[in-house]
Structure 1
Amino acid sequence: MITSQDVQFYKENGYLLVKGVFSQPEVLEMRESVECIIQRAARAKADANHAWQGDFLPPDQLKKLVLKGFHDVHYHDAAFTRAATHPNMVSVLNGIIGPNVQLHHSKMLVKPPANGAAFPMHQDYPYFPHRDHSMLAASVHLDDADMENGCLCVVPGSHKQGPIPHIGVHYLNHKEHPISSGTPCPAGAGDVLFFNYLTIHGSDVNRSERTRRNVLFQYRDAADLPTENVHFDWGMGLMVSGENPDFNNVKPNYRIVEE
């Protein structure tokens, strides 16, 4: 699926766009699954607006923006379990991470037409810091994405800077790191953008009449351990490739408590 030159590009730049990872029938199945999740969330009265707040846009603009986002979509629909372990995905992950790959979590992000919310520039590192920094995101495009409908922008090579202080954990100073500082990564439906969790990235508002739907999977090397007790859930650590070298460290240590 990728070449040694692709792997080297990822190491140098902190990201890699891989074309045609998913077929159009697979993309259509995931689109339908996204819509069903949104409908079920609405019926469950869990359909909140997940647009980021802050000072990166004027308040009158922020209140108009909408983002539909749900974590752990592979718990909601088997289409995303299949996507997370898809042979084409695993092929790329083996090239970038290595033979032993775990899924950390998944989520979906839907920017509706005309008012889909922006993501200011940030690193994913503060949300789930790890020892060896093998963690990466695989952003699966379910629609064609360009600057008009808010495609992802990355800062090539920024992963080499290491962790950078964020404003309230969430995002970087937008005056020092505007979205315009990133390199746009336009992509087609079925393409996947892989980027390290230290790579600075963000996306602008969806100003088009087209929806921008992405499903994002976070992966790590099975030997890479979290350094803080944050962002844990029941299913993190699912092996998508290879083996877990640490027999005693295979799942979060949870217990049921009665209230």
Structure 2
Amino acid sequence: MLTREQVDRYRNDGFITVEHVLDDGFVADLRCVTDEFVARSAQVTEHDDVYDLEPQHSAASPQVRRIKNPNRWHPVFQKALEHPGILDVVEQLIGPGIRYLTTKMNMKSPGVGSPVEWHQDWAFYPHTHDDILAVGVAIDAMTVENGCLLVVPGSHRGPVYEHHEDGVFIGAIGESIDESEVVPVTVDAGGISIHHVRTLHGSAPNRSADPRRLLLLEMAAVDAWPLKGYGGFEAFNSRILRGAPTSHARVEPVPVVMPEPQPERGGSIYEIQTQMSRERARLRQ
């Protein structure tokens, strides 16, 4: 459970970390299954429904940057999604009704690891209100050297930034970031990070000899309804982790810029961000 101080820090800064949420055995299981997925990716030559591959990927040296919706493919990830220790923390931040939006295992291989440019998750999936967050489950220790999450504290209370270039959505902001305000989100394996849907964040490449694997679980209050549609009421409600379904959407005056029009090449944030201009890319440098 969170202390009052931790809850206040999340409200003020837009992110927190909580250590020792998962035990060592569970972390070992997550690592083992993730390694199995990476090994099987040697048979894959391009992005598909399961894998998002690094440009350096090959059969001889598999390099995966994301396992998409991992809870669909293996029960250990579903177990993490439903972990009581995680949900207890989330409940303190967004209330007793919790729905998951999506899951992904983001990975940065040693000395490789694609960066993610500065963005707000809100730009990708605006809802009727912003009681939405992302839980990052640290499968490995998250360090500055291996490309941990970088955030701008308090940015969730500021503007919703444009994530467009030349009128097309490219999933990254154009404004410069004051480097003195950037904070690395370091956490040990088995701990979690949590950031608000409007918190500005990104991550640099992995410049270490160690892997960086982060299971991201994106969750919302059950009365937050997606502005781009929800794929049917039954399917929508199947994502509820705690609480009961509701037909009542809570609507709050939050700023919204729709992620449209989409770029010529869609896909994950990695693919979308590759279409931005070189001048706009900062964390790749």
Which of the five TM-score ranges fits, normalised by the shorter chain? Answer: 0.7 to 0.9
Pick the aligned partner of 2:94 from 93, 97, 101: 97
Change (3 A) 1:48 1:106: closer
1:134-153 map, 5 Å:
134-153=131-150
Corresponding residue number in structure 1 for 2:211? 211
Q: Which residue in the other structure is 1:190 paired with?
A: 190
Number of residue pairs aligned between Structure 1 and Structure 2: 232
Q: CA deviation at 1:24?
A: 1.0
- Among 121, 124, 129, the alignment partner of 1:127 is 124
CA distance in 2, matches of 1:71, 1:236: 18
Corresponding residue for 1:155?
Answer: 152
Work out whether residues 153 and 179 of structure 1, in 8 Å CA contact, stay in contact via their aligned partners in 2.
no
Q: Normalising by structure 1, what TM-score?
A: 0.82
Q: Is the 8 A contact 1:126 1:169 kept in 2?
A: no
The residue number in structure 2 matching 1:241 is: 242
CA distance in 2, matches of 1:178, 1:241: 38
> How many Å separate the matches in 2 of 1:231 and 1:166?
24
Q: Are 1:49 and 2:53 an aligned pair?
A: yes
User: Are the counterparts in 1 of residues 150 and 203 from structure 2 also a CA contact under 8 Å?
Assistant: yes
Give 5+ residue unaligned stretches, structure 1.
52-65, 249-259
Hey, what does 1:165 align to over in structure 2?
A: 162
Distance 1:34 1:163 in 2: 34
Does the Cα contact within 8 Å between 1:103 and 1:236 map onto a contact in 2?
Answer: no
1:172: Cα distance to partner?
A: 1.4
Distance 1:36 1:210 in 2: 18
Which whole-Å CA distance do the structure 2 matches of 1:104 and 1:195 have between them?
15
Spell out, residue by residue over 1:230-259, the C-alpha distance to the aligned partner (whole angstroms, 9 max, x if none): 899x965412112223399xxxxxxxxxxx
The RMSD of aligned alpha carbons is 2.4
1:63-101 C-alpha deviation (Å, 9 max, x unpaired): xxx651122110011011111110101110110010000
Q: Equivalent residue of 1:210, what SS?
A: coil
Identity of aligned residues (%): 26
Q: Deviations over 1:102-139 (max 9, x none)?
A: 11110011100011121111101121111111111001
Compute the displacement of 1:170 (Å).
1.0
* Residue identity matched to 1:49: L
> 1:49 offset after TM fit, Å?
2.4
Separation in 2, partners of 1:90, 1:39: 31
Q: Structure 1 segments of 4 or more deviating over 6 A?
A: none
Q: Which residue of 2 aligns with 1:8?
A: 8
